[in-house]
Chains A and B, each alone.
Chain A
Amino acid sequence: MILSLDNLTLGYESHPAVHHLSIEIEKGALLALVGPNGAGKSTLLKGIMGQISPLEGQINLHVERSDVAYLPQQSQVDRSFPITVQEMVALGAWRHTGAFGRLRSKHKRQVASALKQLGLSGFEKRLINSLSGGQMQRVLFARLLVQEANMILLDEPFTGVDSRTTHDLLHMIQSWHQQGKTIIAVLHDLEQVRTHFPQCLLLSREPISFGDTQEVLTEENWLKARKLNEAFDEHAVYCGSH
């Protein structure tokens, strides 16, 4: 087991965005995290990364935090910043260089190889503000590749990305899976999840279903998830007090 969530509640201003979630994720899992907007999917990833603290329950991560790589939604990156593709990808070697260390020739080779694998050769000196959405996502995947983490969290990795790039990136995810890495990805395309992701967690703030994708993504479960009221109830009583 690489990650266990025990009665986990995460939220904002006391309102639960993820409510009483208890699951165990095995090492090497390829897990899709699905659910309607506002279901708490991104919040759960932020919780696993330690960027927000639980309101209740526990997150037990059985790997070093430095062994977990996290790809936030692309909108979180300031793409107007004047940094080159090569510099951006090289930041993936942070675990080895830290904040101050030099990039060794081994890491430089790694960066070059990551760029090549993602079809970004020739883009090294381009500033990220000149890239398309799909190209930027390739850059962020190249950075993940350099990170060499054993657990990878992806928040909507294919949003705003064309089908060819999506195909290439899915291929990369598959190869990570074959290498035994654990992958959790927030996704919206259910067909994609059915085809490529053996495990699935359907979340609607409350966990609806978790396990084998074909069993989780049933019509009935999805209807249940859709009934989620997106807005927080301002008059809700404290959980457990009724």
Chain B
Amino acid sequence: MFEYLVAPILEFSFMQRALIGCLAISLSAAPIGVFLMLRRMSLTGDAMAHAILPGAAIGFFIAGLSIEAMTIGGIIAGCTVAVLSGLVSRLTEVAEDTSMAAFYLISLALGVLIISVKGSQIDLLHVLFGSALALNNEALYLLGGICSITLITLAIVFRPLVLECMDRLFLQSVSKLSPIAHFSFLVLVVLNLVGGFNAIGTLMSVGMMILPSAAARYWVKGLDMLLLLSCIFAMLSCYIGLLMSYHAGWPTGPAIILTLGSLYIISFSFGINGSLLTHLSKPKHLSA
């Protein structure tokens, strides 16, 4: 058992790096996912993941496979799409999901164009699927940095962000923090997606946000417990996914996300809050 579960991590430094990197991204992406879910913006994560593509591609073609260049490019592209779609929806009469869809599609088309004109599909594969087992020091610093920035920012904007999700008019009536809460949250989404693409790839990193919270809601009710359980689910899945990837020779990103996916399926089937099981079992009621 020890041989199977612990030894690979103790033995190989690339496994330790992968684990640390993935745990960092779990700790920051999972709480972001909880707020995305509560704001009914789960698909926004997916849209933003596509939106950062041209930035990462431009970074890649300027500086090669450099984490800094791709990260900076991705952050610029992602934030541009987030801010533009937010501004367009606040200043004109169109809902935010529509303007975000419009901008991410423009951004995605631009990204695909740049890659097909200047690069090869192999480069694209790295951006899309990442490589957790090849994280170097720079990538680890980046993931640690993003995790720290995310947790600190969340702690600072927590109260306005909760109100922005639940009762925006009240927030606007007591403070001017509504746009700050909204945009800093979108920037955190972008940062985590960009951080995630080094470890498990852009598209997979959306899964790190959405799946833990989607699974956790079947087990707990309060916001604090949702945040906690989402992080635990994400970290646990990283550990299991990494080990599966090591033993079976599977790519790491999909292994982690499929582990999370299994957790989600178990949760919506057998969870204690509104799962299939609770719907199928004979309802009982209390006396008062």
- Chain B residue contacts of A69, Cβ below 8 A: 173
Within 8 A of A (CB), among B148-167: 156-157, 159-160, 162-163, 165-167
Among A76, A84, A147, which residue has its beta carbon within 8 angstroms of that of B222? A84
- Chain A residue contacts of B166, Cβ below 8 A: 77-78, 81, 83
Whether B159 lies near A76 (C-beta < 8 A) is no
B94 at the A interface (CB under 8 A): no
Given known A-B contacts A84-B222, A99-B159, A91 and B165 have beta carbons under 8 A apart: no
- Chain B residue contacts of A94, Cβ below 8 A: 174-175
- Chain B residue contacts of A147, Cβ below 8 A: 174
B170 at the A interface (CB under 8 A): yes
CA distance A24 to B112 in the complex (A): 60
Among A72, A83, A95, A98, which residue has its beta carbon within 8 angstroms of that of B162? A83
CA distance A51 to B169 in the complex (A): 8
A13 at the B interface (CB under 8 A): yes
Whether A49 lies near B165 (C-beta < 8 A) is no
Given known A-B contacts A78-B167, A81-B38, A82-B221, A99 and B175 have beta carbons under 8 A apart: yes
Whether A49 lies near B222 (C-beta < 8 A) is no
Whether B222 lies near A100 (C-beta < 8 A) is no
Whether B170 lies near A91 (C-beta < 8 A) is yes
Among A70, A77, A78, which residue has its beta carbon within 8 angstroms of that of B173? A70
A 106-150 binary contact with B (CB < 8 Å = 1; else 0) = 000000000000000000000100000000000000010001000
Whether B174 lies near A95 (C-beta < 8 A) is yes
B172 at the A interface (CB under 8 A): yes
Whether B160 lies near A99 (C-beta < 8 A) is yes
CA distance A68 to B113 in the complex (A): 53
A60 at the B interface (CB under 8 A): no
- Chain A residue contacts of B223, Cβ below 8 A: 81-83
CA distance A66 to B163 in the complex (A): 17
B226 at the A interface (CB under 8 A): yes
How distant is A184 from chain B, measured CB to nearest CB, in Å?
14
Which residue of chain B lies nearest to A94 when distances are taken between CB atoms in the complex?
Answer: B174
Tell me if B's interface is mostly helix, strand, loop or mixed.
helix
Whether A76 lies near B169 (C-beta < 8 A) is yes
- Chain A residue contacts of B167, Cβ below 8 A: 72, 76-78
- Chain B residue contacts of A72, Cβ below 8 A: 167, 169-170
How distant is A152 from chain B, measured CB to nearest CB, in Å?
11
Within 8 A of B (CB), among A75-102: 76-78, 81-84, 91, 94-95, 98-100
CA distance A66 to B176 in the complex (A): 11
CA distance A22 to B159 in the complex (A): 38
B134 at the A interface (CB under 8 A): no
- Chain B residue contacts of A99, Cβ below 8 A: 156-157, 159-160, 175, 177
Whether B173 lies near A82 (C-beta < 8 A) is no
Whether A78 lies near B172 (C-beta < 8 A) is no
Whether A78 lies near B165 (C-beta < 8 A) is yes
Whether B170 lies near A70 (C-beta < 8 A) is yes
Q: Which of A69, A81, A98, A99 has the most CB of B within 10 A?
A: A99
CA distance A143 to B175 in the complex (A): 16
Which residue of chain A lies nearest to B162 when distances are taken between CB atoms in the complex?
Answer: A83
Whether A49 lies near B172 (C-beta < 8 A) is yes
B93 at the A interface (CB under 8 A): yes
How distant is B37 from chain A, measured CB to nearest CB, in Å?
10
Which residue of chain B lies nearest to A69 when distances are taken between CB atoms in the complex?
Answer: B173
CA distance A83 to B38 in the complex (A): 11
- Chain A residue contacts of B163, Cβ below 8 A: 91
CA distance A95 to B175 in the complex (A): 9
How distant is B169 from chain A, measured CB to nearest CB, in Å?
4
Whether A13 lies near B93 (C-beta < 8 A) is yes
How distant is A227 from chain B, measured CB to nearest CB, in Å?
28
- Chain B residue contacts of A68, Cβ below 8 A: 173
B 68-82 binary contact with A (CB < 8 Å = 1; else 0) = 000000000000000
A-B contact pairs, 24 of them (CB 8 A): A49-B172, A68-B173, A70-B169, A72-B167, A72-B169, A72-B170, A76-B168, A77-B166, A77-B170, A78-B166, A78-B167, A81-B162, A81-B166, A82-B38, A83-B166, A91-B163, A91-B170, A95-B174, A99-B157, A99-B160, A99-B177, A100-B159, A127-B222, A147-B174
Identify the 3 closest CB pairs spanning chains A and B, nearest first: A81-B166, A72-B169, A70-B173
Interface on A for B, CB 8 Å cutoff? 13, 49, 51, 66, 68-70, 72, 76-78, 81-84, 91, 94-95, 98-100, 127, 143, 147
A-B contacts besides A81-B166, A82-B38, A91-B163, 9 pairs, CB < 8 Å: A49-B172, A49-B173, A70-B169, A70-B173, A77-B170, A82-B221, A82-B222, A94-B174, A143-B170
